Amino acid sequence: MLSLPTLLFSAFKRPLPLITGKFSHLRPFDNYFVTSESSFSSEQLRHMSSHSPVQLLEMVKSVIPPLHYEMHKGQAGRLAIIGGCQEYTGAPYFAAISALKVGADLSHVFCSSDAATVIKSYSPELIVHPLLDRQNAIDEISQWLPRFHSLVVGPGLGRDSHLLKTAAAVIQKALVQKLPLVIDADGLFLITQDPSLVQGLSNVILTPNAAEFGRLYRKVFDREPDPTEPIISVKELCRKLGHVTIVHKGLHDIISDGEQVLVCSEQGSPRRCGGQGDLLSGSMGVFAFWSTVSHQKVEEGSLLKIYGPGICAAYAACALTRICSRRAFEVHGRSMTTTDLISQIQESFEYLFT
């Protein structure tokens, strides 16, 4: 019987290049294990999945639509980003262009009027709607919602009360249509103000970092999360919110819906430039659509049925973002920016999912 490292090695066409220099102690497949299990208690480890990373990546591969010549524009995904204001124009661009690079056919950005021209100037690939700050924004955006397969709410949204109110209304209307939603950045600020917006909605994925998770946890439980038991804290919050999916970003990305728990420990990089979370949320929006469609077709007992579309999408996006970060850091080191990560999407996608 082959050992697990042998199986892991044979599962991929080619290994990632070894990191050299300061990080040369990292081995090619360190990233397929929880690299410091000592950071989790035995009780937390009990909650984690028993499926190998190879099995989980096979689950992800099963939801990716194959490319063929009979496809028409839109079949692989029409995604919308709700965000972008005068101060923050980069975040919605990063999320929207990442969605396209992962494989969505069309990527829309709904932003404030003073952000639209700037975002349009970044790329002609994006469809930009300067609607968020209009008085009738909700009515105008609602006309577009039936065209989309998933929404990402929050990148560059800002905290203007009118924009937040509009975003909250869009979330409610999107959920009526059962659209998969990824909520990030200032969208999480909105949810922290009113957790009932997503209560009991299994088609919602929240992507908080440590600080954002702490604020949401305190809002819901009126106490601090236990810093020594992050897996248990994530699971508690998912259950309290009615089994939404949460991605607690950090050294290890902890993913749960309150029942199942996955930990993504792909080796990324030590560089933390702004915008990496936008690549994560944009790609997650695409995977959320793909996994939702596939979930309706697969047999009971399959991994996708066990984990559900939210966890599948989250795991896929976390793994992809980490590999992009690792590859970009190998090339650019300390000067790495999110644009460098985005340029690595194709090769990282091929490495993980083909």
Binding residues for (6S)-NADPHX: 156, 209-215, 278
Order of strands across the sheet with 204-206? Answer: 127-130, 106-111, 78-82, 150-153, 181-183, 204-206, 245-248, 253-256, 261-264
DSSP state of 76: T
Instruction: Label each residue of 205-261 as H, E or C.
Output: EECCCHHHHHHHHHHHHCCCCCCCCHHHHHHHHHHHCCCCEEEECCCCEEEECCCCE
Burial (0-12, 13-18, 19+ Cβ within 10 Å), 347 = middle
Parallel, antiparallel, or unpaired: how do β-strands 150-153 and 261-264 relate? unpaired
Burial (0-12, 13-18, 19+ Cβ within 10 Å), 79 = buried
d(CA 264, CA 51): 12
Q: Is 39 in contact with 251 (CB distance < 8 Å)?
A: yes
Burial (0-12, 13-18, 19+ Cβ within 10 Å), 10 = exposed
Place of tokens 């081995």: 27
Query: Can you say whether the dihedral through the CA atoms of 30, 32, 36, 42 is positive or negative?
Result: negative
SS3 204: strand
d(CA 96, CA 91): 9
Q: Is 178 in contact with 114 (CB distance < 8 Å)?
A: no
* Crossing angle for the helix pair 90-102 and 276-295, to the nearest 10 degrees: 40
d(CA 276, CA 281): 9
- Residues making up the annotated binding site are 156, 209-215, 249-253, 268-278
- Residues making up the annotated binding site for ATP are 249-253, 268-277
